[in-house]
Amino acid sequence: MTKTALIAGITGQDGYYLSELLLSKGYRVLGLVPPERQSSVVKLGALANQVEIYAVDLTDSEALKEVVEQRHPDEIYNLAAPSFVPDSWNDPLGTLDLVTGTATRLLATVREVGLETRFYQASSSEMFGQVDRSPQDENTPFRPKNPYAAAKLHAHWTMVHHRQRYGLFACSGILYNHESPRRSPSFVTRKVSMAAASIKLGLSEVLEMGNLDAKRDWGYASDHVEAMWRMLQADVPEEYVIGTGKLHTVRELVAAAFDCVGLDWQRYVVVNPKFLRADEHFQLVADPLKAKRQLGWEPQVSFEQLVEKMVLHDLECLQTNLQNC
């Protein structure tokens, strides 16, 4: 029987890869996009014709309920969030409202409609915040350091409480950074891949960076959405830490990106103190052993392959002047 999945945040990076994955598995895919963000649907490219978009305000409980009652989704994925962490300092309340409010409303809807719908909450490694151990696993204490992380933690616990109190099949993936050619240019990986491509094509000359020693656990978005899906196919709903378990420095990122276009990064990269973030994480890196053991999940794409995918994509975009690069 054809399964139906409902995705909030379908127009984002993960929404794209998750839709692609679910469609390849024969799912009917529905997406919730607020009326004022309909222009984002263009980011789905050709997939937009294969999914059904509902123009629904995520703060409107009745409208959410109507969609769920009408379409009886087997699975709901809550991916909606303003995902660029520094932005959450500019609008802490808006971040909390969207992140926690959407999770709470969707969970309440599933409970009220009384369906067997399985629920996925997009949690974040940012919830670990000020870590005192590396790597982190499902038992690591949460010490969020920014409004985004605090909002994500609230949504995470709301999901846990709904599971414990009402017996919902609700899971969350505590995901580390995952990137792709669909990552917003606000993020360092895409900033670097775009710059390497642009300098190669003679469109720019210099890349200004912050701390080159900062380290991240960077995975590929397509691998990480596979983990989301696997969580909802498990026998028991649980939390899972999802990451590569490997740290790379920004310097390694820059070197790999420029290597893809045959350039020596040291000739083009300058450190600008303006981009130094005061609040760098130290050793925020996943221990994804539980996901490997229980879900059989492992990343398939290496750091070098990920960087290459991004740079080649950006080269093509810039050469062909494509919109939606």
The catalytic residue among 27, 83, 123, 126 is: 126
Which lies closer to ligand NAP via its Cβ, residue 222 or residue 261? 222
Minimum distance from residue 273 beta carbon to ligand NAP (Å):
25
The catalytic residue among 120, 148, 220, 240 is: 148
Minimum distance from residue 162 beta carbon to ligand NAP (Å):
18
* Residue with nearest beta carbon to ligand NAP: 12
Which lies closer to ligand NAP via its Cβ, residue 168 or residue 174? 174
Question: Does the annotation mark 126 as catalytic?
Answer: yes
CA 138 to chain centre: 18
Which lies closer to ligand NAP via its Cβ, residue 83 or residue 136? 83
Minimum distance from residue 121 beta carbon to ligand NAP (Å):
9
The catalytic residue among 83, 88, 124, 222 is: 124
DSSP string, 312-323: HHHHHHHHHT-S
Q: Which residues contact 174 (CB under 8 A, 6 or more apart)?
A: 123, 124, 125, 127, 128, 138, 156, 239, 240, 241, 242
Which lies closer to ligand NAP via its Cβ, residue 38 or residue 319? 38
Cβ-in-10-Å burial (0-12, 13-18, 19+) of 167 comes to exposed
Strands 75-78 and 118-124: parallel
Between helices 92-113 and 147-166, what is the axis angle to 10°? Answer: 10
Sites of contact with ligand NAP (CB under 6 A): 9, 11-15, 34, 37, 40, 43, 58, 79-83, 98, 122, 124, 175, 177-178, 184
Question: Does the annotation mark 39 as catalytic?
Answer: no
Between helices 188-200 and 250-260, what is the axis angle to 10°? Answer: 30
Minimum distance from residue 15 beta carbon to ligand NAP (Å):
5
Residue with tokens 């960076």: 209
Minimum distance from residue 175 beta carbon to ligand NAP (Å):
4
Q: Which residues contact 70 (CB under 8 A, 6 or more apart)?
A: none
Question: Does the annotation mark 124 as catalytic?
Answer: yes
Residue numbers annotated as active site: 124, 126, 148
